[in-house]
Chains A and B, each alone.
Chain A
């Protein structure tokens, strides 16, 4: 009995992290048919934001340092949502109806984001800032001219070259004047540690079980996120619009729903949720440029198993995959079937975290033989037209 509860608890806590990561992905996929390969990197940005907020609060001393987690949640949501919004406006909206290309483009973005956190320093930040200001500022100013369409191509090329050059020269100068102070990377390639606030350390003993506080915190955070998302989708005007566009984009556009805004908003919210998931991830281990990559494939599997269009699908799928991973990975399953030697041997063979994934994937492929469209598929004439 204890064994069962223990595995259930551990499975659920793995599943909730997956779920939080998958929620954003699933609503975006449902709405736009787009899988965002940079979703993991948005989580990573959330985790790094937590790291930064923690350091700021640590400087402020005692009463504050224990509560950095709440502002960190807000900041992580904000940062990830902002980056997501930029991503949607600058890249994804141009790739409408080309989901495979979107996959590749967002993978490109994920590579850039990974390298960005590795090498970002004051010089790079300044160069980016100067570039952005000059390029987009120039664009904005010149776009008001009457003959803009005619000169657009040339002006943009010129602006691109000029602002890159100015940014680079400015960066060089800065690097020469202040040397190490500005050229040192902010985070570097090393992993960084986020320490949980004191009230989150330790845990609650329940019978023979010990429930770590961080895990409990993550579970409640997930509950809050799901509840928030549910209320947003079901009981607000914008939620209604999102559901409408998810079901029938053309019709929604015809009745006057601004589908472009809906896309941008949904993408931003989905990305923000990734940021919040990043906070949760930062509590579980150290934070590195590859943090996102560790979660991304599992979250994709949640979307595949859960199907699109229903939150419940993602919830069941995430918890299911989480529990299956734990049961197989910890070797608990082998303990449940002690009598059959071949079965036990096989199960022991898969009883590591990474081998468990092999088994779970095999199970997912088997599952897809029966439910190829996931747990809760949509029905009707519009499907697969």
Chain B
């Protein structure tokens, strides 16, 4: 991969001096952060470090108080959620958010639809069947493609949502604790899926599960109190005294 991507150093995402404050509480505090194109980055940090708020800003759910976010050279802070999504950022939520009364097939079709305005959706002709079948294969839901998604198990819902995000064909995938509640086997399979996705997507993963982080991580970013604490390989980060202090240290005590 390193050899195959000579221009991989182009930055797809740049965040400068990002601050989000809720009634005085600073969920993000002057964060600087950037992602290279094609990178797989894991963000960790203790509770309240601002990980999910970071994703909220990236997807337009929260407007920053200060700072700027450039994605493919465009400022995201002025855009609405659906505009950002069309621009190429897909997000998988912490707790699976799928459409419970639609079946997996319909869930995927909804994400796959290339024209998302009202009238093209209503009148447009499209044949998504093959793509849907292929995706169902990828997320191992072929045999359950016609039952309401609300009836799937927790792990299956997580997979379905990952499938929905892939279906949007985003340039940047945001995965928020996507292995929470999965069995070890499922977790491992998810890790493999993410590895294979990383070949042609830029991926930002937020994770608590250290075994999983070790499995997939190339570069790890640690957030603490809304700001960047340190960055590096998993081993570097693991041995950084500041990280042990704020993060692993607190685990030892607890």
Residues of A in contact with B (beta carbons under 8 Å apart): 379-381
B23 with A381: CB separation less than 8 A? no
Per-position 1/0 for B40-56, Cβ under 8 A of A = 00000000000011001
Which of these, B23, B52, B53, contacts A379 with CB under 8 Å?
B23
Most buried by A among B22, B27, B52, B56: B22
Could you give 5 example pairs across A and B, Cβ below 8 Å?
A379-B23, A380-B23, A381-B52, A381-B53, A381-B56
A381 contacts across to B, CB distance below 8 A: 22, 27, 52-53, 56, 62
- Chain B contact residues, majority secondary structure: mixed
Number of A-B pairs, beta carbon distance below 8 Å: 10
Closest 3 CB pairs of A and B: A380-B22, A379-B22, A379-B23
Least CB distance from B219 to A in Å reads 27
Least CB distance from A68 to B in Å reads 47
B56 contacts across to A, CB distance below 8 A: 381
Once the chains are docked, how many angstroms separate the CA of A381 from the CA of B28? 12
Q: Which residue of A lies closest to B97 (CB)?
A: A385
- Chain A contact residues, majority secondary structure: loop
A380 contacts across to B, CB distance below 8 A: 22-23
B window 60-78: CB within 8 A of A:
62
B27 contacts across to A, CB distance below 8 A: 381
A379 contacts across to B, CB distance below 8 A: 22-23
Q: Which residue of A lies closest to B25 (CB)?
A: A380
Least CB distance from A370 to B in Å reads 16
Once the chains are docked, how many angstroms separate the CA of A304 from the CA of B12? 42
B62 contacts across to A, CB distance below 8 A: 381
Once the chains are docked, how many angstroms separate the CA of A379 from the CA of B20? 12
Instruction: Give 7 A-B pairs besides A380-B23, A381-B27, A381-B56 with Cβ atoms closer than 8 angstroms.
Output: A379-B22, A379-B23, A380-B22, A381-B22, A381-B52, A381-B53, A381-B62
Once the chains are docked, how many angstroms separate the CA of A381 from the CA of B21? 10
Once the chains are docked, how many angstroms separate the CA of A380 from the CA of B24? 11
Least CB distance from A161 to B in Å reads 37
Once the chains are docked, how many angstroms separate the CA of A381 from the CA of B51? 12
Once the chains are docked, how many angstroms separate the CA of A307 from the CA of B35? 40
Q: Which residue of A lies closest to B94 (CB)?
A: A385
Q: Which residue of B lies closest to A378 (CB)?
A: B23
Once the chains are docked, how many angstroms separate the CA of A379 from the CA of B53? 13
Least CB distance from A49 to B in Å reads 42
Least CB distance from A236 to B in Å reads 25
Least CB distance from B115 to A in Å reads 27
Once the chains are docked, how many angstroms separate the CA of A381 from the CA of B52? 9
Least CB distance from A372 to B in Å reads 14
Least CB distance from B184 to A in Å reads 28
Q: Which residue of B lies closest to A382 (CB)?
A: B22
Once the chains are docked, how many angstroms separate the CA of A295 from the CA of B221? 57
Once the chains are docked, how many angstroms separate the CA of A379 from the CA of B24? 11
Per-position 1/0 for B9-45, Cβ under 8 A of A = 0000000000000110001000000000000000000
